Homo-oligomer: A and B are copies of this chain.
Amino acid sequence: MRTAYHQELSRLGAQLGEMCGLAADAMEHATTALLEADLTLAEQVIADHDQLKTLSQRSESSALRLLALQAPVAGDLRKIVGSIHVSADIERMGALAVHVASISRLRHPDCALPDEVRASFAEMGSRAVKLARTAQEVLISNDSGKASRLETEDDAVDAEHRHLFTLLIDRNWQDGVCSAVDVALLGRYYERFADHAVEIGRRVVFEATGGLPTHKQLA
């Protein structure tokens, strides 16, 4: 019985890792779709999200089953409750990739991005995807040292996000209101995506140490 229990607990961890990988893929594809105005890829990101939602429901069911049948305590209990938070974070990351893809689709055949912000989004996309891949690794390895470094890596996404607002507001934006609105919302989606990856790292630290995670300053 305990063996089946530990197998299911270990499966839950692996499933969260797989889901986080799918969210990273989704944002990677959404970023390419955005930069290249690739409609097919944008639509694929949107269609693929159902799989992530299904996996998220499955991992919550698995967590409920473990709680009901095994009455876990201490570290296992923290891990299972943590999985509920992490699963919600990952599903939200996938939804944010869908938002990015939806803006690409809406502006197709045009590119949603004016030339002057393309490099910013390429950079923000690459860093956000890297954060998600690191979150995936720490979900599998439970490496709390690496998990706690996610916050520092997120600083670069926040810096790029602030730079975008400088371009939009402080300088003389020449690309019109529609484009400014797209850029502001897109920047927000990347920033939130990265925040969720950081939140996953914070949960892994919590599971390892038992200390309540401190929340990042409001983003």
Contact = CB atoms under 8 A, between A and B. Distances in A.
- The A contact surface, by secondary structure, is helix
Interface in A65-85: 67-68, 71, 73-74, 77-78, 81, 84-85
Given A169-B178, A169-B181, A177-B168, A49 B218 contact: yes
A185 B212 CA distance: 31
A169 B183 CA distance: 13
Contacts of A74: 68
Interface residues of A, number: 36
22 contacts: A49-B218, A60-B81, A60-B212, A63-B81, A64-B77, A64-B78, A67-B67, A67-B77, A85-B88, A98-B218, A99-B218, A102-B218, A165-B181, A168-B177, A168-B178, A169-B181, A180-B180, A180-B181, A181-B181, A181-B184, A184-B184, A188-B188
